[in-house]
């Protein structure tokens, strides 16, 4: 297939592109800068210059493709305070892809998340679907993103083979600059490896290369309207994560009270307090996906998160 990939230069996209090319697909990646364009060329992809706000350009790239994988998200503005603006831009891009692909039966794969799907119990692919599902515990931009995922699944009724790949909060691996790297950085800065309360709350996790494989399978064969879970570890207790970090950095592992969590963990506190396990049993059964790369604790134990002095 000729696949148009947004976010092809990002953490997950830079694993998805080789997974696609390795399987014989051609990739055109969206690039908004010279450095992203150069990275795509080096990976063997074609470059489609533009940004998420160039809707006409997104429309023509989608129309010229055999399928679209949408991974780009304005994390830069989202993490500097305008999550709603980032989610709104994302929704407009997704609407554009839906219009461009309507009636074609071509695949459209959206990256989404599992966090907050079913707090306190194991979320499955059946959660977060149907009218009102976006209302749950989510607010603002997070609610908009959930609604965008729901809209993507509804493209199935317009003859788009749409699917949503829900990612856990940590998509880990060598070179990770996300939540795990931030947690290591906070432990270094504070001189303790902390967890909130008794640390029994759980995060699901997936290795970046296993996630990339699932995006390929979704593109190739997910039935229209599929919600898929890129989950390898169903739920790793945050305390177990803190213990590996403490061992590698030779720091004490300590409980931080919920009242002090905001000051200790800053923007990460809300995420770190979540108890959000998730299953991928239905995804494995549907697509034959089987994670083969290290789980989160084994990956942390390999040591690469601790090589860089800043922890990032």
What residues line the site for ligand NAP (CB under 6 A)?
Answer: 7, 9-13, 30, 32-33, 36, 51-52, 71-75, 111, 113, 167, 169-171, 178
Q: Residue 96 or 170: which CB sits closer to ligand NAP?
A: 170
Q: Residue 88 or 251: which CB sits closer to ligand NAP?
A: 88
Cβ-closest residue to ligand NAP?
10
- At residue 31, the 3 state secondary structure works out as strand
Burial 116-146 (b: 16+ CB within 10 A, else e): bbbeeebbbbebbeeeeebebebeebbbbbb
Q: Residue 192 or 207: which CB sits closer to ligand NAP?
A: 207
Q: Residue 74 or 229: which CB sits closer to ligand NAP?
A: 74
Burial 89-99 (b: 16+ CB within 10 A, else e): bbbebbebbbe
Q: How far is the CB of 260 from ligand NAP (least distance, A)?
A: 26
Tokens of 253: 């592992």
Q: How far is the CB of 103 from ligand NAP (least distance, A)?
A: 26
Q: How far is the CB of 52 from ligand NAP (least distance, A)?
A: 4
Q: How far is the CB of 73 from ligand NAP (least distance, A)?
A: 4
Q: Residue 74 or 146: which CB sits closer to ligand NAP?
A: 74
Q: How far is the CB of 246 from ligand NAP (least distance, A)?
A: 22
- Please report where in the chains the tokens 């002090």 appear, as a residue: 260
Instruction: List, in order, residues 6 or more apart from 278 with CB less than 8 Å away.
Output: 114, 117, 118, 122, 123, 124, 166, 168, 204, 229, 231, 234, 235
Which residues on adjacent β-strands are paired with residue 69? 5, 109
């Amino acid at each position: 297939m000729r696949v148009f990939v947004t976010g092809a230069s990002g953490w997950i996209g830079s694993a998805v592109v080789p997974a696609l090319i390795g399987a014989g697909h051609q990739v055109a990646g969206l690039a908004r800068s010279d450095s992203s364009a150069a990275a795509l060329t080096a990976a063997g992809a074609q470059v489609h210059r533009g940004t998420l706000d160039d809707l006409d350009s997104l429309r023509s790239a989608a129309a010229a493709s055999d399928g679209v994988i949408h991974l780009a998200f304005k994390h830069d503005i989202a993490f500097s305070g305008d999550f709603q603006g980032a989610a709104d831009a994302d929704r407009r891009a997704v609407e554009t892809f839906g219009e461009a692909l309507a009636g074609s039966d071509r695949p459209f794969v959206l990256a989404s998340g599992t966090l907050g799907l079913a707090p306190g119990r194991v979320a499955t692919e059946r959660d977060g679907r149907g009218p009102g599902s976006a209302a749950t515990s989510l607010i603002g931009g997070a609610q908009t993103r959930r609604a965008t995922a729901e809209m993507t699944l509804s493209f199935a009724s317009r003859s788009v083979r749409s699917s949503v790949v829900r990612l856990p909060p940590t998509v880990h691996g060598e070179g990770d600059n996300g939540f795990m790297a931030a947690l290591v950085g906070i432990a270094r800065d504070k001189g303790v490896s902390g967890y909130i309360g008794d640390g029994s709350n759980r995060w699901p996790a997936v290795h970046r290369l296993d996630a990339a494989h699932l995006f390929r399978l979704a593109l190739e064969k997910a039935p229209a309207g599929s919600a898929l879970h890129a989950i390898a570890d169903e739920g790793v207790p945050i305390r177990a994560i803190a213990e590996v970090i403490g061992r590698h950095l030779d720091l004490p592992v300590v409980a931080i009270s919920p009242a002090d969590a905001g000051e200790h963990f800053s923007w990460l506190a809300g995420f770190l307090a979540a108890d959000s396990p998730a299953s991928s049993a239905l995804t494995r059964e549907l697509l034959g996906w089987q994670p083969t790369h290290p789980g989160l604790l084994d990956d942390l134990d390999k040591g690469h998160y601790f090589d860089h002095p800043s922890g990032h």
